[in-house]
Amino acid sequence: MILTKAQYDEIAQCLVSVPPTRQSLRKLKQRFPSQSQATLLSIFSQEYQKHIKRTHAKHHTSEAIESYYQRYLNGVRKNGAAPVLLELANEVDYAPSLMARIILERFLQKHEEAPPSKSVINSMLRDPSQIPDGVLANQVYQCIVNDCCYGPLVDCIKHAIGHEHEVLLRDLLLEKNLSFLDEDQLRARGYDKTPDFILQVPVAVEGHIIHWIESKASFGDECSHHAYLHDQFWSYWNR
């Protein structure tokens, strides 16, 4: 269904005062029952990511990092089984997966001879069992599985949803007997940056001529439209 700008603004305004938790998502669904869970989740995620980008810098000062690390150490000394890192992230209003990254990097800097590489950090976040400290591994795991907007688990879900929507779009094009070339076929022909599908015979939809289709399995707010236009769509249109 089509969402009006007024409806979108109402949902976005409601999200300003709620924490990024699954409980908040359930409350959001109760308040806006006519909207699908997928739509609300996508808007929820995008609005939270905007908030994180605005506040990212303050969480990465040397003073903030050291403060978070000492609070983590003090917390696990008292009770290593408690969700210390997750509660700290919620308290300072920062994504749990990103807080886990900060603490993991600080831990490795202290215990390893060389600074940890980005690939090592990413590998440990994807598989916390690689972390040499069992307590920290458990704390990182709790952050990853309880983060509904960031982290390797969310990245896997987004990738799967994106692939699913591309398959659904392909099936729809085939069902309509439309002739098209997909991304792999276009790359084989030497194209670098390509949309998901180029229609070999353009079609008219609601008075507009459609030459190509790019599938984005997320809500199209003004900010994302602007970014995609700059990064992808204008180059497709020019060609």
pLDDT digit of tens for each residue in the chain (239 aa)?
678 888 888 888 888 777 667 777 888 888 888 888 888 888 888 888 888 999 999 999 999 999 999 999 999 999 989 999 999 999 999 999 999 999 999 999 988 877 889 999 999 999 999 999 999 999 999 999 999 889 999 999 989 998 999 999 999 999 999 999 998 898 888 887 789 999 999 999 999 999 999 988 788 888 888 888 888 888 888 87
Q: Identify the pLDDT of residue 1.
A: 64
Q: Identify the pLDDT of residue 38.
A: 84
Cα(236)–Cα(152) distance, rounded to whole angstroms? 30
- DSSP string for residues in the chain: -PPPHHHHHHHHHHHTTS-SSHHHHHHHHHH-TTS-HHHHHHHHHHHHHHHHHHHTGGGGSHHHHHHHHHHHHHHHHH-TTS-HHHHHHHHTT--HHHHHHHHHHHHHHHHSSSPPPHHHHHHHHH-GGGSS-HHHHHHHHHHHHT-SSSSHHHHHHHHHHHHHHHHHHHHHHHHTT--EEEHHHHHHTT-SS--SEEEEEEEEETTEEEEEE----S---HHHHHHHIIIIIHHHHH-
Domain coordinates in residue numbering, the chain: 5-56, 60-150, 153-236
- 194 CB neighbour count, 10 Å cutoff: 21
Cα(35)–Cα(3) distance, rounded to whole angstroms? 9
Cα(46)–Cα(34) distance, rounded to whole angstroms? 20
Q: Which of 37, 28, 135, 152 is nearest to 95 (CA)?
A: 152
Rounded to two decimals, the pTM is 0.84
Q: Which two tokens stand for residue 28?
A: 């959001």
Q: Identify the pLDDT of residue 194.
A: 86
Q: Identify the pLDDT of residue 216.
A: 85
- CA 2 to chain centroid, in Å, comes to 23
